[in-house]
């Protein structure tokens, strides 16, 4: 059994881990526990949180939105931000840390299956709307872009009755982790790294 603590941004991500991701990993003998950072994600706050968490778990990881990370430079990337997290924590816990930043945010994952989105939000129109957006980004949910107007959550809130903490985890549960893994390479790589903890 491997106990993994996941530092998450807030309530939506915490529910997603508890309701969808943790049950998926139990069969793999990996037990995931989300711990909310309470928003305002920045490198100093993250490094302090991970130091605390490292004492309570066999391994620690993160699940933050790139879009929501504070204090990033214009040329920052998902990879450079993950490296910053790894380099900022105390060297004694680096071997038990897998930093992960979701590009661009959690809601991007929900576009992996427009049918599931339409089913949970009870609208065929929303299914077609999500399919059209996905087509604009060559079928890659993780490419749906990073701006105050066009980030995945902003699109959902502007065009549907989407409520983050209620609908987000429900849509993810409806589509299932395997569908997300097929569409979202970055997310899939993270899960593959966690699965390797038992080998």
pLDDT tens across 27-73, in order?
999 999 999 999 899 999 999 999 999 999 999 999 999 998 998 88
Packing angle between helix 78-88 and helix 43-53, nearest 10 degrees? 50
Residue 80's pLDDT is 96
Strands 97-98 and 30-36: unpaired
Strands 101-102 and 59-65: parallel
Cα separation, 141 vs 122, in Å, equals 21
10-residue mean pLDDT series, the chain (199 residues): 97 97 97 95 96 96 94 92 96 96 96 98 96 97 91 95 96 98 98 95
């Amino acid at each position: 059994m491997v106990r993994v603590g996941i530092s998450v941004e807030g309530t939506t991500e915490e529910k997603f881990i508890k309701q969808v991701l943790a049950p998926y990993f139990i069969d793999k003998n990996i037990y995931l526990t989300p711990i909310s950072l309470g928003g305002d994600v920045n490198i100093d706050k993250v490094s302090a949180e991970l130091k605390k968490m490292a004492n309570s778990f066999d391994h620690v990881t993160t699940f933050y939105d790139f879009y929501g990370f504070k204090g990033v430079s214009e040329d920052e990337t998902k990879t450079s931000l993950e490296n910053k997290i790894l380099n900022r924590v105390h060297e004694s816990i680096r071997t038990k840390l897998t930093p992960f930043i979701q590009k661009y945010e959690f809601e991007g994952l929900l576009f992996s299956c427009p049918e599931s989105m339409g089913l949970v939000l009870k609208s065929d129109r929303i299914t077609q709307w999500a399919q059209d957006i996905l087509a604009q980004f060559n079928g890659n949910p993780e490419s749906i872009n990073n701006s105050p107007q066009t980030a995945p959550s902003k699109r959902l809130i502007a065009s549907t009755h989407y409520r983050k903490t209620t609908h987000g985890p429900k849509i993810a549960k409806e589509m299932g982790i395997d569908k997300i893994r097929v569409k979202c390479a970055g997310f899939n790589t993270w899960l593959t790294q966690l699965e390797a903890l038992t080998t």
